[in-house]
Amino acid sequence: VARRLLADMSRAEEDVRKMARGVRHVVRLAVESYSAYHWLPAFLRHLRAIEPEVGIEVVAAAARNTLSSLHERVVDLIIVSGEVNRAGVDLVPLFDDELCFVMAPEHRLAGKTFIEGSDIVGEDFITYTRVPEPDREYARLFRPSNSYPNWTETVEVPEAIVEMVAAGLGTSVLAGWAVHNAVDDGRIVSARVGKDGIVIPWFAATRAGDSGEDKPNHRVAGLLAEWSRANGGLNGD
């Protein structure tokens, strides 16, 4: 309750400042686990052309606990993936994204189009969480093949993992949309996770009570879905 009260007080102060600039509604947004916002400027231009009185505030601190932050009103809209607990939330499908096994360009596996279980045995592996997720690499590749990498680091910021991978300090599995620019720039290379790949659905989630065409949170979620479909997910910049 105290956390929610502080969040509401902070929101009120910030909203007063934004209203002075013509913004009537502020939608606070967080992305699950990731801090890659290369897509945000293009989406903001799209949003402002349609909803000029709606502003976006990014709450990066909510990335580790997006659902609880949504319920506690720290944020209004979250971008989440995979199997989402739907209790008390409305989900709008955004896009499907394939996980990528990422490595330095000079890595011994850099020429492979997909990574098998036998490839990762003993490989230094950096992850942003040690909690196995039911639809990710642990359940879909490591455990079925009984093949495991050497977990060397847990780094909670995936963008920092990209830097470590680029420096040759290990490998990782990350969302394709989040590493898109680093792969395009040649700083890291990517391969499919398993022969068939692992595709993860991403959603925009709002509180169930905030839904309705007259609610800015719901409208922004819909516009984000529209923009994502037109731009191939969050790969655009």
37 within domain boundaries: yes
For residue 134, what pLDDT is reported?
Answer: 81
Nearest CA to 94 out of 204, 217, 215 is that of: 204
> Does 131 lie in the same domain as 69?
no
> Does 186 lie in the same domain as 114?
yes
For residue 91, what pLDDT is reported?
Answer: 95
Percentage of the chain lying above the pLDDT 70 cut? 89
> Does 106 lie in the same domain as 89?
no
> Does 120 lie in the same domain as 42?
no
Range of the domain at 143: 97-199
Confidence class for position 136, pLDDT limits 50, 70, 90: very high
Nearest CA to 33 out of 58, 57, 59, 65 is that of: 65
Instruction: Tell me how far apart the terminal alpha carbons of the chain are, to the nearest angstrom.
Output: 38
- For the cut 80, the answer to whether the pLDDT of residue 68 exceeds it is yes
Pairing of strands 25-31, 54-58: parallel
Distance (Å, whole) CA 18 – CA 229: 29
236 within domain boundaries: no
> Does 155 lie in the same domain as 206?
no
| pLDDT tens-digit series, residues 74-119 | 999 999 999 888 789 999 999 999 999 999 999 999 999 999 999 9
Contact between 225 and 204 under an 8 Å Cβ cutoff? The reply is yes
Distance (Å, whole) CA 42 – CA 152: 36
Provide the 8-state DSSP code for 138: I
- For the cut 70, the answer to whether the pLDDT of residue 2 exceeds it is no
- Tell how far CA 230 is from the center of its chain: 18
Across 199-214, average pLDDT: 87
138 within domain boundaries: yes
* pLDDT: which is higher, 12 or 232: 232
> Does 119 lie in the same domain as 187?
yes
54 within domain boundaries: yes
For residue 133, what pLDDT is reported?
Answer: 83
> Does 39 lie in the same domain as 105?
no
> Does 177 lie in the same domain as 121?
yes
Distance (Å, whole) CA 122 – CA 19: 55
Q: Residue 58: beta bridge partners?
A: 29
Number of domains composing the chain: 2
187 within domain boundaries: yes
Q: Which residues contact 201 (CB under 8 A, 6 or more apart)?
A: 81, 82, 93, 95, 96, 97
237 within domain boundaries: no
> Does 135 lie in the same domain as 88?
no
Across 126-152, average pLDDT: 90
The one-letter amino acid at 200: I
Confidence class for position 152, pLDDT limits 50, 70, 90: confident
Enter the tokens of residue 174. Answer: 């990350």
Contact between 191 and 109 under an 8 Å Cβ cutoff? The reply is yes
> Does 178 lie in the same domain as 219?
no
83 within domain boundaries: yes
User: What CATH number has the domain bearing residue 9?
Assistant: 3.40.190.10
For residue 206, what pLDDT is reported?
Answer: 96
217 within domain boundaries: yes
> Does 101 lie in the same domain as 174?
yes
* pLDDT: which is higher, 134 or 139: 139
> Does 184 lie in the same domain as 209?
no
For residue 86, what pLDDT is reported?
Answer: 79
Contact between 135 and 83 under an 8 Å Cβ cutoff? The reply is yes
Helix (H, G, I), strand (E, B) or coil at 71: helix
| pLDDT tens-digit series, residues 163-206 | 999 999 999 999 999 999 999 999 999 999 999 999 999 999 99
Task: Tell me the pLDDT of the chain averaged across its residues.
Answer: 90
